């Protein structure tokens, strides 16, 4: 995780001043190293070979930036915020690791910057009041989304199919046979089983939306009018 993202987490979770200053220094050091890397890239890829003075100046400036970054690094030390599946353990007091950390309040969610790893950070508060940062990479986000998404049931899928059919009949009108329903569904790339089409038309008729016409071997349906519903 970049220092910028760590600093964002610290400020969002309102950590102590010492931790915030440490992350601020880390962020500045990281920015200086990025600038030094940019200067070296310009010297290597964009500066003419015969421009020795310019090349030397770019490299010297990069070394100066690296020196400042190293000085900041001595302040930062070795402590870092390590991505974890549940929380930032080094920011929390020592507890019995056999007990799960329970988060009971959502605070904020932070999408990563384009240059950072695709990790969603969720700021939350544990049951005992401690701030917690949850890190979700792409795989973890997909899993959570799958857990939270309502599972489609057979009845709900059937109702959506009936609603689509009724909406189509209302839009286009005319006579609707089993074959016409099948053709419409084939054009839309949907399953077009004859038995399903026949049962759907009969169901809409049973609910009062359609009027049934003709014998069994020549049956068709039309959209019911107000007069039909009153009859």
Q: Which CATH number belongs to the domain containing residue 205 in this structure?
A: 1.10.10.10
- 114 within some domain: yes
Query: Residues 183-229: pLDDT tens digits?
Result: 999 998 888 899 999 999 999 999 999 999 999 889 999 999 877 76
Rounded-to-5 percentages of helix, strand, coil across the chain:
55, 15, 30
- 179 within some domain: yes
- 149 within some domain: no
- 48 within some domain: yes
Could you say which of 115, 144, 173 is where a domain stops? 144
Residue 108: its pLDDT value, please? 66
| Strand, coil or helix: 182 | helix
| Strand, coil or helix: 99 | coil
State how far the Cα of 60 lies from the Cα of 36, in Å rounded to an integer: 10
Q: Which residue has the higher pLDDT, 180 or 150?
A: 180
Q: Within this chain, do residues 23 and 115 fall inside the same structural domain, yes or no?
A: yes
- Residue range(s) defining the domain that contains residue 219: 154-230
Q: Within this chain, do residues 133 and 167 fall inside the same structural domain, yes or no?
A: no
Strand pairing category for 210-213 and 220-223: antiparallel
Which band of pLDDT confidence, cut at 50, 70 and 90, is reported for residue 104?
confident
Domain total in the chain: 2
Query: Residues 161-178: pLDDT tens digits?
Result: 999 999 999 999 999 999
This prediction's pTM? 0.36
Average pLDDT, the chain: 75
State how far the Cα of 200 lies from the Cα of 221, in Å rounded to an integer: 11
Strands in the chain per DSSP E = 103-110, 120-126, 131-136, 210-213, 220-223
């Amino acid at each position: 995780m970049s220092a910028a993202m760590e600093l964002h987490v610290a400020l969002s979770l309102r950590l102590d001043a010492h931790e915030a200053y440490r992350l601020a220094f880390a962020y500045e050091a990281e920015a200086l190293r990025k600038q030094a890397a940019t200067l070296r890239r310009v010297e290597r890829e964009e500066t003419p070979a015969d421009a020795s003075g310019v090349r030397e100046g770019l490299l010297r400036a990069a070394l100066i930036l690296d020196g400042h970054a190293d000085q900041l690094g001595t302040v930062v030390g070795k402590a870092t915020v390590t991505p974890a599946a549940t929380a930032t353990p080094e920011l929390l007091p020592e507890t019995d690791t056999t007990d799960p950390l329970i988060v009971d309040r959502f605070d904020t969610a932070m999408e990563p910057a384009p240059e950072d790893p695709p990790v969603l950070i969720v700021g939350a508060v544990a049951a005992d009041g401690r701030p917690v940062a949850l890190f979700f990479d792409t795989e973890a986000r997909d899993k959570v989304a799958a857990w939270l998404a309502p599972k489609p049931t057979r009845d709900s899928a059937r109702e959506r199919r009936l609603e689509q059919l009724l909406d189509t009949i209302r839009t286009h009108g005319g006579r609707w046979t089993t074959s016409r329903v099948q053709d419409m569904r084939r054009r839309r790339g949907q399953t077009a089983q004859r038995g399903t089409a026949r049962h759907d038309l009969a169901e809409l008729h049973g609910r009062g939306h359609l009027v049934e016409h003709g014998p069994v071997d020549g049956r068709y349906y039309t959209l019911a009018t107000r007069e039909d519903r009153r009859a």
